[in-house]
Structures are given as structure tokens and as C-alpha cells.
Amino acid sequence: MIDKGDTAWVLMASGLVLLMTPGLAFFYAGLVRQKNVLNTMMLSFIAMAVVGLVWVLWGYSLAFGPDWEGWGLVGNLKWFGLKDVSATEAGPYSATIPHQAFMIFQAKFAIITPALITGAIVERVRFRTIVVFLILWSTIVYAPLAHWLWSTNGWLGALGGEGALDFAGGAVVHISAGVAAMAAALIFGRRIQSGSEKMEPANIPFVILGTGLLWFGWFGFNAGSALSSLGAATNAFVVTNTAACTAALTWVALYWQATNKISVVGAAVGAVVGLAAITPAAGFVGPMPAIAIGFVAGLACYAAVKIKTRMGFDDSLDVWAVHGVAGAWGILATGLFVGVGYLSFEALTQPGMGRGEQILWQVVTIGVASAWAFVGTCGILWVLKKTIGLRVSEEEETRGLDVSQHGEVAYGVVH
């Protein structure tokens, strides 16, 4: 029976998750140079339009539709254009909300995931290229991975019977986006002024505003994944906030210890790290494990930023170090802490599965999601490089993408 409270909560959560993408736009735009602020924001905004339409036409059917040939690899196109996806009757993923409510909730995850990737290639990507990339990546990489972990018949996920746990997107969203960002940064190459010009943030207040919107929206991201308005949502809400607080303080402390300064940007990035890390575990752990998850995420991602710098690849906004590393740690931590402080291990895992086996499935999930995202992204970008091209010209990049791609500027007038 459709429940009004559950339906209202999931629809509200859908709106919260959608708000995260404009939040991401502010977060990313504040970190780039002034001449690229508008273009950076537009990369997130266009993802809302492009992926939102792809999801309704074929993305949802590929990700959550009836399994193609029974192999657990991808859905068929039976639900193309939302055929048989009812706005009044429940679907296979929840008995208490309309099928379309679940669909539109999942649409917001599909939107923000490729938007995250854009942070690795800002300040040099052609706009027409990113539009085509969004279509191809959400279809070829995101939809199958979502099917493997979250569909009723996916070969990897708990619902599919194998036992991998990913409550709200540690692998489907954060590992896939983070590893794809690394692949994209390697293929695109460094910005032409990287190393010779300071890449100072254009607007740190934008970073704080974006972080606030992300933090606020993340409650829909994680608590909404309970698909009900009861205890599971409450627990997810609490642990989400707890991990974010811990990771933010951890990052601030690490930066202060290294520089004797309190970094505003570091506090914001630390909060995002904690939010990303708790995402896969939010339905499976209690508040005390959330503190541990946030603390280790702060340590690991801070170190990953340093490692990325030494490796020399130009992931412009540290998408791999923030989302990829946090997502991988969160997936592993889910196996380590599942049932600690919330319900029990037996209540949250497959019957007969031990903790060691659960941890093994979490490690497999990290490997599978990473390999799929890396290979799929490299393949897509190779095709685009050979056809429509990836980067703007040196003159356009030097002038700034706001003017060269849009004929507009964030501040002042076009010269």
C-alpha cells in the first residue's frame, strides 16, 4: 500500500539531492580562476538538463529495468520513456512509494555523478564535448554499475543476492566519479598554465556556500535512500552529519599542524570528504563508527591530495583524492563496521554471511567499480578525442572559458 509519509519524504529527498548539483556548481566555481567561474558552474547545470532527460528516456530502464537476458549486467529497455513506470502504483523497489517517486529520486544520483567528474577537467574542456560525454558516460558507465549494485537482479549488490553493500552510492557515485576523474585528467593533460601560474580560488565564499548546499542536500542523498520516513532514515541522517563534522575537524587539524593556519577551504573540503565516506555505510552503521569513518576519511583524503600533487597529473579540483578515495574507504568501512551501533550484523547482511566474507565482497566492489569506471571513461574519451576533440585551443584557454565558450563573464563585462 502506498504510504503518504514515505512518498512525501522520498519526493522531498529527491529535491534535496537535486539541490546538491547547484551546490556542487558553487563549490567547484569558487575553486577555479575568475575567468572560468561561469563555465565551471555551467558544467554542473547542464548535467541536470542532459542527464535528467537521458534518465527518463533510457537511463532508468538500463539501470533499474528488468534484467537483460538474466545475466545481472544491465536492464533492458522495457521501461523506455517510463513506459509502465507508474505514478500511482508501487514498483519493485519499494512497496510504499509510487514507482515514479523511486525513479525521480534515482535520477538525481545519476545527474550529480558525472557532474562530479567535470571538476577534474575544468578550465580546458570544450563545452560540446562535455555534453556528449555526459550522455555517453551516464549510459555506458553509470547505468550498468547502478544495475549491478542496486537493481533487483544485479550480480554484485545485496539486492541481487551476492552481498555487496552500498547504501547510497559509495561505489556507484563516488568511486566511479573519482576514478573517472583520474582517467579524464590523465587523458586531457595538464592545463597550459599549470605550474607557471598560481591557480588561486576565485571566490572562497562560493566554496562555503556550495559546501553548505551539499551538506544540506546530502541528508536527502543518504537518509532518502532508506525509501521510508522511519528509523532507517533517522539513523542515516544522524550518521551523515556525524561523519561530516568529524572529517571537517580532522582536515582543519591536519592543515593547521602543517601550516599553522586554519584553512577555510580545508574545512569545506573536509566536510565533503566525510559526507562521501559515510554514504555507502549510512544505512548500516551507528554514530560511533561514523566518527571513525569520518576521521580516517579526513586522514586518507588529505594524504591523497598530497600524493596526487607529487604524481603530477592535473585533476584540477582533486575529484579523485576527495571522492574516489573517500568512496573506496567508505565501501571498505561498511564491511568493517556493518551492524556496529545500529541493528545487528545478521539483520543487515545476507543470511549465513560472515564478516570476513562481507569485507571480501566490499573489496571486490571497490575493484570492479574502479576498473569499470576507468576503462569505460578512457574508451569514451578516446572516441571523443578522435572525433570532436577534447580541449579548447591554447588561445581560448588562456583567455578563459567564460568568454571563449559562452561570451559572458561572472564579474564585470566582456572585453
What is the C-alpha to C-alpha distance for residues 137 and 132, in angstroms, rounded to an integer? 9
Q: Is there a contact between 176 and 104 (Cβ–Cβ < 8 Å)?
A: no
Domain that holds residue 365: 4-406
The set of residues, in sequence order, having a beta carbon less than 8 Å from that of 67 and lying 6+ positions away, is 73, 74, 75, 76, 147, 151, 152, 153
The answer to the question of residue 411 being in a domain is no
- Residue 125, pLDDT score: 97
Residue from 40, 54, 92 nearest 210 by CA = 40
Encode pLDDT of 335-356 as tens digits: 999 999 999 999 988 888 899 9
Domain membership of residue 203 (yes or no) is yes
Q: Is 263 part of any domain?
A: yes
Interval 241-256: pLDDT, tens: 999 999 999 999 999 9
pTM over 0.75: yes
Kindly state the percentage of the chain with pLDDT values over 90.
Answer: 89
**DSSP letter for each residue of 321-354:** IIIIHHHHHHHHHHHHHTTTTSS-HHHHS-TT--
In a domain, 49, yes or no: yes
The stretch 79-90 carries a mean pLDDT of 96
pLDDT at site 104: 98
- Domain contains 255: yes
Q: Is residue 40 part of a domain?
A: yes
pLDDT given for residue 196 in this prediction:
67
pLDDT at 160: 65
362, pLDDT greater than 70: yes
Instruction: Examine residue 70 and state whether it is found in any structural domain, yes or no.
Output: yes
- Give the chain's domain count: 1
Is residue 220 within 8 A of residue 13, CB to CB? The reply is: yes
Report the CATH number at residue 260: 1.10.3430.10
CA distance 8 to 26: 28
Question: Does the pLDDT value for residue 308 go beyond 70?
Answer: yes
Tens digit of each residue's pLDDT (9 = 90 or more) over 177-232: 999 999 999 999 999 977 667 788 999 999 999 999 999 999 999 999 999 999 99
pLDDT tens, residue by residue, 363-398 = 999 999 999 999 999 999 999 999 999 999 999 999
pLDDT of residue 188: 96
Establish if 372 belongs to a structural domain. yes
